[in-house]
Chains A and B, each alone.
Chain A
Amino acid sequence: DADVTQTPRNRITKTGKRIMLECSQTKGHDRMYWYRQDPGLGLRLIYYSFDVKDINKGEISDGYSVSRQAQAKFSLSLESAIPNQTALYFCATSDLKFGGTDTQYFGPGTRLTVL
């Protein structure tokens, strides 16, 4: 979805380096998410944020941190990258609607390789 952008789209780095992945959205949504996907597997939730002052750990938060700089921006950091963090990373946004539906819209993904 063009309304959700991720930078960089591809990144190769070395073990021990600090990496930041950035996500921006123009959908005006309050909720933002970071997922990772390993080959042949489904997506797993890393962190999520329901508004600028809200940060929550997901299923696999160890080794990651996030920053919600503004409603439209949500960054994911790997403080000291390790090879098993090699994966596809997706950002998503959503906006809770009246009645409870909360459809998520995904960015194009960042392919991260840690050597």
Chain B
Amino acid sequence: DAKTTQPTSMDCAEGRAANLPCNHSTISGNEYVYWYRQIHSQGPQYIIHGLKNNETNEMASLIITEDRKSSTLILPHATLRDTAVYYCIVRGYNYGQNFVFGPGTRLSVLP
């Protein structure tokens, strides 16, 4: 699986958009970009994933650059409940490839 690089921590004001970057310069053509988050010590929660097109769901938007070497997760209107560690993961679908969780980005949403 490709290695990802994320900032250790970020702050965001409540009600503003939170933009979380991720670099994955060694991503290969069959690897998807996934985002999860973990609130306190709860189980990681799936947010969104994509291959090359931008994606949006009820939780967030995922913007993937044209060369696929980086992506940004956007929480459009961050709330205090969005305070969590956010993990960017790249993963292929070949048999045996599994999720590799790094240290992630600790997002603090401030009142």
Contact = CB atoms under 8 A, between A and B. Distances in A.
Interface residues of B, number: 23
Nearest to A40: B103
Contacts of A44: 101
Given A100-B32, A101-B93, A102-B91, A1 B43 contact: yes
A4 B74 CA distance: 27
A88 to B, nearest CB: 6
A103 B34 contact: yes
Interface stretch (B18-26, B44-52, B61-69, B76-84): B44-52
Interface residues of A, number: 31
Nearest to B103: A42
A45 interface: yes
Nearest to B98: A45
Interface in A89-115: 90, 92, 96, 99-109, 111
Contacts of A40: 103
Q: Which 8 A-B pairs have the closest CB atoms?
A: A100-B93, A106-B43, A42-B101, A43-B101, A42-B102, A106-B44, A108-B43, A42-B103
Interface of B: 30, 32, 34, 41-46, 49, 87, 91-93, 95-96, 98-104
